[in-house]
């Protein structure tokens, strides 16, 4: 039963404030502003579409305590563009962070709530992604986890990289989902997680069952009675299965 990636959800102490930062950072618009969630998407975006992955910000009281296992990589098209974007992000409230990256050609920053992200140097592979080059997930075994996310996210393999496994929509549009090797232990609930949904006309319980058979597990993060299903992938990363759309 097919599902596809429809959102990236970000836990936030101040969802509206963090949405304002990211809408300015990406040049996106606030598409939804409710007490329990704020969403941003590109201007004119037709939801849902593989052309972009909207960001959803939800209120969470728990503070950020460790480096996130999921982060965004932002694309640039020139060295001057990378410098200008970093400068603009710092003016918006980002700050440089050291996560042990050493001497690298990309910039590692954190947003106003401490969520790490990277501003990449120009790379031809990201020339057509829009401002978000990739959603990057730390993984103990990227090659193994890739098969699960091909099913859950509706992705296909996208080229060969020695340092990671890259997936992308079959349409060849929008950001990549990249599984990055990492030996860091997972100790807390991820502050960023993926939402997937069946296509219109498909059955959500059947989709949930298909994902459970593929290696997902049911997850309880204190969600209570909700209209979506909360699961974890084979490495414990939480994600939600929404209603068909």
Please give the Cα distance from 75 to 132 (Å, whole number): 6
pLDDT in tens, 164-202: 999 999 999 999 999 999 998 889 999 999 999 999 999
Please give the Cα distance from 12 to 16 (Å, whole number): 9
The confidence score (pLDDT) of residue 52 equals 98
Domains recognised in the chain with CATH numbers: 3-241 (3.10.180.10)
Please give the Cα distance from 21 to 245 (Å, whole number): 28
For the residues 12-37, what does the mean pLDDT come to? 97
pLDDT in tens, 42-101: 999 999 999 999 999 999 999 999 999 999 999 999 999 999 999 999 999 999 999 999
pLDDT in tens, 110-159: 999 999 999 999 999 999 999 999 999 999 999 999 999 999 999 999 98
Tokens of 176: 């990549």
The confidence score (pLDDT) of residue 172 equals 96
Using a cut of 0.75, tell me whether the model's pTM lies above it. yes
**Helix residue ranges per DSSP H, 122-197:** 142-153
H or E element in which residue 136 lies: strand 132-139
Residue 182 DSSP SS3 = coil
């Amino acid at each position: 039963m097919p599902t596809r990636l429809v959102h990236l959800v970000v836990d936030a102490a101040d969802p509206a404030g963090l949405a304002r930062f990211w809408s300015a950072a990406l040049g996106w618009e606030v598409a939804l502003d409710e007490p329990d969630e704020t969403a941003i998407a590109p201007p004119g975006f037709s939801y849902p579409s593989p052309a972009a992955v909207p960001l959803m910000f939800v209120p969470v009281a728990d503070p950020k305590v460790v480096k996130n296992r999921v982060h965004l990589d932002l694309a640039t098209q020139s060295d001057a563009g990378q410098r200008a974007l970093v400068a603009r992000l710092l003016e918006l409230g980002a700050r440089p962070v050291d996560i042990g990256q050493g001497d690298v050609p990309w910039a590692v920053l954190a947003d106003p709530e401490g969520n790490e992200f990277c501003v990449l140097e120009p790379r031809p592979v990201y020339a057509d992604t829009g401002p978000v080059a990739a959603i990057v997930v730390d993984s103990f075994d990227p090659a193994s986890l890739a098969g699960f996310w091909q099913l859950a996210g509706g992705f296909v393999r996208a080229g060969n990289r020695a340092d990671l496994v890259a997936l992308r929509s079959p349409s060849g549009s929008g950001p990549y989902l990249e599984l990055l090797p990492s030996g860091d232990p997972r100790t807390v609930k991820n502050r960023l997680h993926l939402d997937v949904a069946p296509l219109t006309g498909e059955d959500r319980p059947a989709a949930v069952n298909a994902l459970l058979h593929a290696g997902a597990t049911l997850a309880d993060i204190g969600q209570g009675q909700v209209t979506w299903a909360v699961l974890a992938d084979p490495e414990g990363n939480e994600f939600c299965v929404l209603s068909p759309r």
